[in-house]
Amino acid sequence: MVHISAHRSSQTTILGVGPPDVVRHRVGLSAIATVSAVSKDGVDVLVVGAGMTGLTAGLTLVEAGKSVRIVDKGRSVGGRLATRRIGRATLDHGAQFFTVRSSEFGDAVRMWEHDGVVSVWTHGFDAENLDGHPRYRTNGGMSRLAKHLAAAFVGAGGDLVVNQRVHSIIDTGRSVTATYDGTTRPPDEAQAVLLTAPTPQIVQMLEAGGMPVPDPVRLVTYHAVIALLLITEHDPAGRLGPAGALQQPLDPMFTFIAENRAKGISDHIGLTFHTEPALSAALFDCSDQEIIDRLTPELRRVLGGDTWNEIQVKKWRYAGPRNGHPDRFLAVKGVRLPVLLAGDAFGGARVEGAFLSGRRAAEQLLRQSTQTSG
């Protein structure tokens, strides 16, 4: 289906707007990339990053009537809401679960629960110490939550572009322009830009375009995580807690271990191991094989000596902020049009922090556009 989206920048998109399931399914495909003809004045808002922050912001803006394009360098949406399929196993390898602390995020989670997208996984990982605090999983894997939000965004008339890495953000005076790596995509113009990548990547985009970089952004640092994904025939039930998972401090080397079938998202046994930050940093530049060789004794210890059929390594250089910025978003100063920075490094970490940052940044852009047009 080819759809001409309704908003004024007039894009031709391969995605189309069909029944939610069709859109949701298509959002999962790598052929999701849209073919866009950039109009003279561009979109109202260009959002860089289709993780929780960017999708939340994009949806808030498009539902308020703005023309919005979200671009992401990944093959699909989600960023650190990441799920990998290995044979019949489905494994979350980025965020493992999320918690709810604010009523605002709680309202969104209740809606997703009602839509059948998320459910309570457990009330604690330590059998001796169930604290009653719900930990949510996404049914079918974390990336499905991102696909759900992306489907809603596209369904509301938003334009989603994947497989395109933004190289620079340039203030032309008339618009803010994003240029892309490679030569396949012409620059995008917008009346405002929201950058939601991890901050070192935001700095790269701003510097490449000769834009000022707010000083506090340079102070944000991240910890790394190495994820190991194992497919095995041996059910480790009993070695992990009742939810099929172990969290530090119960295991000293791994911050988190989850068996994804017991978690309820996989048809086959598949284990996710996250190495603790100091170990992740020490091994980060090693080859996958070196990492596997180094960690094999630790994996065997957890598995009680059992082996595995397949093992894959995924490195997260920017897994989570070590020291974030206290505000939910920051504005780049000295530019005529709004350029805002948001993400889980702003105002609170994790999935909930990303959601709230995206919301607050979108509201700020809506306020600024009302002031400009008023």
Ligand X SMILES: Cc1cc2nc3c(=O)[nH]c(=O)nc-3n(C[C@H](O)[C@H](O)[C@H](O)COP(=O)(O)OP(=O)(O)OC[C@H]3O[C@@H](n4cnc5c(N)ncnc54)[C@H](O)[C@@H]3O)c2cc1C
**Residues in the site for ligand X, rule: CB under 6 A?**
48-54, 71-74, 79-81, 94-98, 165-166, 196-198, 201, 205, 225, 227, 274, 316, 319-320, 343-344, 349-351, 354
Query: Exposed, middle or buried by CB within 10 Å (0-12, 13-18, 19+), for 367?
Result: exposed
If the CB atoms of residues 18 and 139 are measured against ligand X, the closer one turns out to be 139
CB of 301 vs ligand X, minimal distance in Å:
21
If the CB atoms of residues 129 and 373 are measured against ligand X, the closer one turns out to be 129
If the CB atoms of residues 156 and 227 are measured against ligand X, the closer one turns out to be 227
CB of 154 vs ligand X, minimal distance in Å:
16
Q: Which of 48, 46, 50, 49 is nearest to 77 (CA)?
A: 50
If the CB atoms of residues 194 and 371 are measured against ligand X, the closer one turns out to be 194
Q: DSSP letters of 245-268?
A: EEETTSSSSEEEEEEHHHHTS-SS
CB of 64 vs ligand X, minimal distance in Å:
20
45, β-bridge pairs: 68, 192
If the CB atoms of residues 178 and 306 are measured against ligand X, the closer one turns out to be 178
Q: Is the peptide bond before 249 cis (omega within 30 degrees of 0)?
A: yes
If the CB atoms of residues 8 and 90 are measured against ligand X, the closer one turns out to be 90
Positive or negative: CA dihedral 173, 177, 183, 185: negative
CB of 265 vs ligand X, minimal distance in Å:
14
Phi, psi of 156 (to 5 degrees): -90, 5
Token readout for 244 is: 């099929």
CB of 202 vs ligand X, minimal distance in Å:
8
Q: Which of 49, 14, 51, 52 is nearest to 33 (CA)?
A: 14
Q: Kindly give, in sequence order, each residue whose CB lies less than 8 Å from that of residue 82, ignoring residues fewer than 6 positions away.
A: 92, 93, 94, 95, 142, 143, 314
CB of 92 vs ligand X, minimal distance in Å:
9
Token readout for 173 is: 């005076």
If the CB atoms of residues 214 and 343 are measured against ligand X, the closer one turns out to be 343
CB of 366 vs ligand X, minimal distance in Å:
19
**What gap in Å lies between CA 350 and CA 338, rounded to an integer?**
25
Phi, psi of 141 (to 5 degrees): 110, 150
Count of all residues that appear for the chain in the document: 374
If the CB atoms of residues 42 and 79 are measured against ligand X, the closer one turns out to be 79
Helical axes 52-63 vs 143-155, angle rounded to 10°: 20
CB of 348 vs ligand X, minimal distance in Å:
9
